[in-house]
Amino acid sequence: MHMPSDVESKLLIVDDLPENLLALEGLVRGHGRPVFKAQSAEEALGLMLAHEFALAILDVQMPGMNGFELAELMRGTERTRHIPIIFVSAAGREMDYAFKGYESGAVDFLQKPLDPHVVASKVNVFVELYRHKKALRREVEAMALLHREQEALVQQLQCAQRELERAVRMRDDFMSMVSHELRTPLNTLYLETQVRKLHLGKGNTAHFAPERLPAMIERDQRQIQNMVRLIDDMLDVTRMRSGALSIQPRPIDLAALARGVVESLAQQAEAAGSAISFDAPSEGVRGQWDDFRIEQVITNLLTNALRYGGGKPVEVHVGASHDWAQIIVRDQGMGIAPEDQARVFEQFERTEASRKRAAGLGLGLYITRQIVQAHGGRVELESAAGVGSTFRVSLPLPGAAK
Amino acid sequence: MNVLIVDDNQASADLLQELLVLQDHTARCTYTGQGALDAAAQEAFDVALVDLTLPDFPGTVVAQRLRNEAGDKPRLIVAISGYAETEAVGASGLFDHHLQKPIDFGDLDRILAAAA
């Protein structure tokens, strides 16, 4: 608690006669008690608007508004209602005049001629009272502040707890999804082995005829690649989150790289019923990029275009304009609603429509954007539901100002 | 034993069919919920193996409609899923068994033997 003595106690004295004011000031002043003087009720009211007073000493007999009238005005206003008042009167007669505010307390009387001891002791009582009140109010305010701080802290903790719960839920969902996604190709592979075992058991060697083997191997490899890709995606996300994704740029031709991806996805395109058209400048688009990572970007975008392209043609353009190399992948499929367009680039985010359409972890576009950004580039999406999606990747060309 | 398979993962459905045929069952493969219902309207199956996540409607709906609508109802309806059995699916009473992928062939054999 603050010591009451740190509190400054302003005193207001009101008397129409300057010599009375001077005399009274001499009696009441002291350390930590600045004295304000007013020669009329109006002047006193002006001072009360500007200052907070510990005590007002009012001469009763004043021309114009007298001390009692001033006191009544003070009691009628919130700002001045609680200022204790000491009335000073020349004769004892006026004391019969019942001041309306008397019952509200904090009113006292002094008679002229003033007895210095009586004045000092009365003023001291009120000043002490004021200081204690002030100190108490400060204490209450400090406690209120503390309380607000504690409330804020509790809210922060609750917020942190919700975040943690969300993170744990996300991790659990993620584990469940990863497990599901791995189980699907694993199931196919397991069925393949079991079917072969049964054929073998029946002595059915035709099943293993040389002309059948390439297709068999291709099927197995596809399932294995699915699983490897899933695990790579998971590890990439972990690396990206810890900022450890390494980009190793070296001189490459973006056009040749993209053409390679398009060719490698030919079979998938056929299965999806989508033709992929490809165009790029014949001289190629050369720059310094991480070919492995950029291949991943093009594969992700093109795989999505085939998955969600509704069996309609998919276009891939590679080009350069000004300081940027561009890869554009356009499909004419289900599209992405405006409200989902920012979300699809976040990890584990999938639209309801895409969930129904195909399995997946919701990592492809997140990884895509992280890789492009790590190259100093950007990914833009233009899409409308039912019309299709266009993903535009821009990568800085050599010599471009970053 | 005549088995109905419904799984939108075609490779998995086809292999399961081959596996069952190799074990001297007959089996029909479908890749959508509607496909499974259409097949059940055409012929009677002893057992239905139903993937829970299908493109047109959930496996639970397929199971319910097989139970309510098919003329000769399958004796057993088995859920197949990449996920572990959830309480909701378990409590629905729509499935006699739940097989998690990758399918344990011993479990599958026991289920089919019990249905015979």
Chain A residues near residue B82 by CB distance under 8 angstroms: 179-181, 183-184, 187
Give residue-wise pLDDT tens across range A305-348: 998 888 899 999 999 988 999 999 999 998 888 888 888 888 77
B83 Cβ under 8 Å from any chain A Cβ: yes
For residue A74, CA distances in Å to A49, A78, A195 come to: 11, 8, 101
Give residue-wise pLDDT tens across range A100-130: 445 555 688 888 888 999 999 999 999 999 9
Q: Distance between CA A156 and CA A160 in Å, rounded?
A: 6
Under 8 Å between Cβ of A134 and A8: no
Q: Distance between CA A342 and CA A213 in Å, rounded?
A: 45
Identify the pLDDT of residue A402.
44
Please state, rounded to an integer, the average pLDDT across all residues of chain A: 87
CATH architecture of A250-396: 2-Layer Sandwich (3.30)
Token pair 């899923």 is found at: B81
Give residue-wise pLDDT tens across range B7-58: 988 889 999 999 999 999 999 999 999 999 999 999 999 999 999 988 788 8
Identify the pLDDT of residue A1.
46
Give residue-wise pLDDT tens across range A352-367: 767 666 666 778 898 8
What are the extents of the domains in chain A?
4-140, 166-241, 250-396
pTM (two decimals): 0.59
**pLDDT interval class at A197 (50, 70, 90):** very high
Identify the pLDDT of residue A230.
82
Identify the pLDDT of residue B70.
60
Mean of pLDDT values over B56-69: 89
Give residue-wise pLDDT tens across range A260-289: 999 988 888 888 889 999 999 999 999 999
Token pair 């991480």 is found at: A290
* Residues A195, B12: C-beta atoms closer than 8 Å: no
B82 Cβ under 8 Å from any chain A Cβ: yes
B106 Cβ under 8 Å from any chain A Cβ: no
* ipTM rounded to 2 decimals: 0.90
B55 Cβ under 8 Å from any chain A Cβ: yes
CATH class of B2-115: alpha beta
B83: nearest CB among A176, A189, A199: A176
Q: Which residue in A47, A50, A48, A54 sits closest to A5, CA to CA?
A: A54
Backbone phi, psi, residue A251, to 5°? -65, 125
Topology of domain A4-140, per CATH?
Rossmann fold (3.40.50)
CATH architecture of A166-241: Orthogonal Bundle (1.10)
